[in-house]
Amino acid sequence: MRITAIGGLTSVALGIIKITTGIIGESYALIADGIESITDVVSSVALLLGLLYSVKPPDEEHPYGHAKLETLAGLFVAFAVVGAATIITIESIREILTPHLTPKWFTLPVLIITIFVKVLISRVVSHGGARHGSGAMKAESWHHLSDAITSGAAFVGISVALAGGGNRWASADDWATLVACVVIYWNGFRLAKNAASDLLDRAPEADLMRRLREIASGVDGVLGIEKMRVRQSGMGYMMDIHVEVDPQMTVVDSHEIARAVKRTLIASGNRVMDVIVHIEPYYAGERQLQLPLDGDHRE
């Protein structure tokens, strides 16, 4: 949340600087870029609220917790990226169709500073998202990077306009920004697709599945893993696992093994938030019929 707040405040400061410089320097692409930077704070606030409420403990109305609010925040940020690209595209087309003066040279240093700061913030937010397993923060990092991309496009366009001389090259920064919006659109839709997949309980990568299976198999008393299902929920994972134990074991002893499996998986450092453990009898040399996980098939 601290990283997100810093990113939002920085976006506002850079937005004000870009709008002011764009007005004085007659760069409409820079003004549009500044407006997009200020709107970044909307997605930052949404992300902050999503992170804040996603860590609330379960209650009677939400027995599985509130973790999916983090994913919903990520989906909102993805839509914000697409929305910002749409605003900039419309503004760029309008300026291409409207003759205007060549931007001033001092807009270029402002863009260089903006690109550097935005790339730095994007990397910090992306690192925080990877460390905490937050898809919303990864989406927010791309939102900051999209700002850097549009600023880079404006830099190229203004440089072309200044090098070409004359007002007939004045719209070069608008054309460059229009091209950059294609990249932003692509990433916005990609982020929305990833967030939607998480809402639909997408399974994690195969390497994590294998690691969790090995951890559960290493618990004393576990003779096999019949089946296992994992889904992402916000910044963590929810698990259902069927472990096989000695069929002659008492209910009390098998229950202790189930508790040990749950404790071990949650404490494994793989962001497992909760585990439902089913106990199955293990018979050496044969496997039981593999039934769907939904429904109650315990004997």
pLDDT at 291 over 50: no
Confidence of residue 225 (pLDDT cuts 50, 70, 90): very high
Identify the pLDDT of residue 3.
76
As a whole number, the mean pLDDT across the chain is 80
Output the pLDDT for position 9.
81
The pLDDT score that the predictor gives to residue 297 is 40
Q: What is the DSSP letter of 292?
A: -
Quote the pLDDT of residue 49: 75
**215: CB partners within 8 A, 6+ apart:** 264, 265, 268, 270
Which of 6-15, 31-40, 197-206, 269-278 is predicted with the least confidence, judged by mean pLDDT?
31-40
Rounded average pLDDT over 72-88: 81
Residue 292 confidence class, pLDDT cut points 50, 70, 90: very low
Distance CA 206, CA 182 (A): 32
Please report the pLDDT score of residue 289 as a whole number: 43
Of 81, 207, 86, nearest in space to 141 by CA: 81
Q: Residue 293 — very low, low, confident or very high, per pLDDT cuts 50/70/90?
A: very low
Note the pLDDT of residue 261: 95
Greater model confidence, 74 or 291: 74
Domains of the chain: 2-199 (1.20.1510.10), 206-281 (3.30.70.1350)
Strand-pair partners of 240: 229, 276
Q: What is the mean pLDDT of residues 197-211?
A: 84
C-alpha span between 226 and 289 (Å, rounded): 10
